[in-house]
């Protein structure tokens, strides 16, 4: 059973490894392979340690664990572009170790994200998903999210990729 808790500094190395392996698994064939190959879990962990140490309370980092081993990570906070104290939150990231996909870690994290967002006073939660990432889009739809009609283009190694904004009401 996946238990969800707040991330600690000691979790950062495992979270970085989950993020990098999650990117490589989820975005293979979508994001240019050189971009994925260049990802480095140790460099990612070092950046995360800096962000964690600065900790201004804007971002909630949650981890899922099974038997003491981390299985996933999610981060949420105010929607980028909104003032603090706004009613719209954003799921910045959610990743599950590829060998744990389909075993409940994602569902447990999403339930905890929604609960934490509501505790923070967010009435609506948004996220961005690559348009070509069909498995993630199905996961978000099952979790009660849907496209809200907004999209954007993000560049990955000079390749433009379309992202769709999904939203869910928390009320």
Q: What is the pLDDT of residues 96-151, one digit of tens each?
A: 999 999 999 999 999 999 999 999 999 999 999 999 999 999 999 999 999 999 99
Q: Which long-range contacts (CB under 8 A, 24 or more apart) does 118-122 make?
A: 118/170, 120/60, 120/89, 121/85, 121/87, 122/78, 122/86, 122/87, 122/88, 122/89, 122/170
28-73 pLDDT per residue, tens: 999 999 999 999 999 999 999 998 888 777 899 999 999 989 999 9
Q: How confident is the model at residue 82 (pLDDT cuts 50, 70, 90)?
A: low
Q: Do the Cβ atoms of 139 and 74 come closer than 8 Å?
A: no
Quote the CA–CA distance of 49 and 43 in Å, as a whole number. 10
Residue with the bigger pLDDT between 46 and 85: it is 46
pLDDT at 1: 84
Residues 129 and 87: their CA atoms lie apart, in Å, by: 21
Q: Report the C-alpha gap between 143 and 65 in whole angstroms.
A: 20
Query: pTM for this one?
Result: 0.94
């Amino acid at each position: 059973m996946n238990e969800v808790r707040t991330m600690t500094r000691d979790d950062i190395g495992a979270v970085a490894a989950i993020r990098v392996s999650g990117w490589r698994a989820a975005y293979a064939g979508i994001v240019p392979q050189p971009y994925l190959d260049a990802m480095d879990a140790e460099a990612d962990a070092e950046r995360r340690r800096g962000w964690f140490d600065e900790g201004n309370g804007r971002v909630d980092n949650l981890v899922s664990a099974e038997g003491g081993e981390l299985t996933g990570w999610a981060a949420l906070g105010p929607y980028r572009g909104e003032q603090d104290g706004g009613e719209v939150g954003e799921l910045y990231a959610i990743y599950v170790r590829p060998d744990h996909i389909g075993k409940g870690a994602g569902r447990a994290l999403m339930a905890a994200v929604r609960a934490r967002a509501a505790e923070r006073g967010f009435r609506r939660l948004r996220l961005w998903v690559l348009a070509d990432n069909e498995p993630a889009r199905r996961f978000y739809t099952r979790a009660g999210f849907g496209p809200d009609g907004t999209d954007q283009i993000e560049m990955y190694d000079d390749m433009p990729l379309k992202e769709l904004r999904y939203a869910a009401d928390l009320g």
